[in-house]
Amino acid sequence: MKPGILIERVVISTTISGFRLSNTAVANIARLKKLSPIESLGDDRLIGWGDPDVPNSEVMFWDIDRTDPDLLETIESLGPEIGLPGVVLKVIHAPKGMWEIDLIDLPDGGQVEVLRGGIQPREGKEL
């Protein structure tokens, strides 16, 4: 990397199942944000967080910024398999503002994340 390029930490999915968080991960992010977890209608899956006293304050986990400090802390403290079964999430380092995540739908109904830009995984280096 060239000197002077700012690096940021980004959470990505390293599996075909895409980016999905377990109930434990969603509950932990809600706790860190001092908000209430939101349950999916029809089942007991946690899908986001918000303030029940503030209209339209809900955030669904799939809309979270992949550089969100609470997401990063959750993945780093609870481990990479904090996604749903079959989903492995990883924190990588990327040039700040020089990357984008695209989702590609697969014929079998799964999704795969494709990173575009100047992304470079850097094993073992904490910034």
Cα separation, 64 vs 73, whole angstroms: 13
Q: What pLDDT is attached to residue 118?
A: 56
Q: What pLDDT is attached to residue 127?
A: 38
Quote the domain boundaries for residue 59: 7-117
- Give pLDDT tens digits for 41-97: 888 889 999 998 998 889 999 899 999 999 999 999 988 667 777 788 888 888 887
- For residue 126, is it within any domain? no
- For residue 1, is it within any domain? no
Q: What pLDDT is attached to residue 49?
A: 93
- For residue 125, is it within any domain? no
- Helix, strand, or coil here: 117? strand
Cα separation, 36 vs 70, whole angstroms: 14
Q: How many domains does the chain fold into?
A: 1
- Helix intervals (H) in 9-120: 23-33, 69-78
Q: What is the pTM of this model?
A: 0.78
Q: What is the Cα 121 distance to its own chain's centre?
A: 16
- For residue 122, is it within any domain? no
